[in-house]
């Protein structure tokens, strides 16, 4: 488990990568231990993730009318988020050597993990606001699109800097992982019976 000082260093490195500065990678531990330790970013991101899960569970429960199931909904949302976090990494690991990415795979995963924790903390005001204010649909849609656009920009930038193989390769890798993440979310939301729309 990384120390507090190391976590601060890794978050700083991730932030510099987000800014498009390759030297930020030097602040990250890309050793074998550093690779596995980077998944501790999930623990760092846990508090703001809980805020999002609770807010979404309240919305889903309101549509279903079953407020007693909120803990179950939170557990299912957590499972979905962690699947989205881990499964694309596993998929990339399986194709990295064949795709010529094996030499930069660790850098990409480590940078993405710590940047994910940074992104979740940076955007936590949005789910916090949603918990205390019932947003009009138009406002919710605009915020959702803004967060999606920011997410795409941030993680495309990280992919581009971490791989260091040009924008075309970064775009292809990012697009594949993004489509996989969205597919996992859709499939698991359906499998777990979760919907933000009115119950039938």
Tell whether the model's pLDDT for residue 197 goes beyond 60.
Answer: no
User: Tens digits of per-residue pLDDT, 82-91?
Assistant: 999 999 999 9
The whole domain housing 105 covers 4-191
In a domain, 40, yes or no: yes
In a domain, 177, yes or no: yes
Q: Determine the average pLDDT of the residues in 102-125.
A: 95
Q: How many CB atoms lie within 10 A of CB 92?
A: 19
**Cβ 97 vs Cβ 21: under 8 Å:** no
In a domain, 198, yes or no: no
Per-residue confidence (pLDDT) for residue 182, from 0 to 100: 95
In a domain, 200, yes or no: no
**Mean residue pLDDT across the chain:** 90
pLDDT band at 20 (very low <50, low <70, confident <90, very high): very high
pLDDT band at 198 (very low <50, low <70, confident <90, very high): very low
In a domain, 185, yes or no: yes
**Cβ 41 vs Cβ 117: under 8 Å:** yes
In a domain, 93, yes or no: yes
In a domain, 111, yes or no: yes
Cα separation, 81 vs 196, in Å, equals: 16
**Cβ 118 vs Cβ 15: under 8 Å:** yes
Q: If 0-12 CB within 10 Å is exposed, 13-18 middle and 19+ buried, where does residue 64 land?
A: middle
Nearest in space to 85 (alpha carbons), one of 129, 142, 46: 46
In a domain, 199, yes or no: no
Tell whether the model's pLDDT for residue 50 goes beyond 90.
Answer: yes
User: Tens digits of per-residue pLDDT, 127-152?
Assistant: 888 778 777 778 878 888 999 999 99
Q: How many CB atoms lie within 10 A of CB 13?
A: 23
Q: Total structural domains in the chain?
A: 1
**Contacts by 48-54, CB closer than 8 A, 24 or more apart:** 48/120, 48/121, 48/123, 48/124, 48/127, 49/78, 49/81, 49/120, 50/74, 51/124, 51/127, 51/128, 51/131, 52/77, 52/120, 52/124, 52/127, 53/77, 53/78, 53/81, 54/131
Per-residue confidence (pLDDT) for residue 67, from 0 to 100: 55
């Amino acid at each position: 488990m990384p120390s507090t000082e190391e976590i601060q260093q890794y978050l700083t490195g991730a932030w510099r990568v987000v800014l498009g500065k390759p030297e930020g990678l030097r602040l990250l531990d890309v050793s074998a231990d550093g690779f596995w330790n980077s998944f501790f970013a999930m623990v760092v991101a846990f508090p703001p993730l809980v805020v999002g899960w609770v807010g979404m569970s309240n919305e889903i429960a309101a549509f279903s009318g079953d407020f007693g199931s909120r803990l179950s909904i939170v557990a299912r949302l957590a499972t979905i988020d962690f699947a989205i976090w881990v499964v694309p990494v596993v998929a990339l690991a399986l194709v990295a050597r064949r795709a010529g990415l094996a030499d930069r795979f660790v850098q990409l995963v480590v940078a993405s993990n710590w940047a994910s924790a940074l992104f979740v903390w940076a955007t936590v005001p949005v789910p916090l606001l949603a918990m205390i204010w019932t947003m009009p649909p138009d406002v919710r849609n605009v915020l959702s699109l803004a967060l999606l656009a920011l997410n795409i920009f941030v993680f495309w930038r990280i992919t581009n800097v971490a791989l260091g193989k040009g924008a075309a390769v970064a775009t292809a890798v990012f697009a594949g992982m993004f489509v996989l993440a969205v597919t996992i979310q859709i499939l698991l939301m359906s499998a777990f019976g979760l919907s933000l729309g009115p119950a039938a």
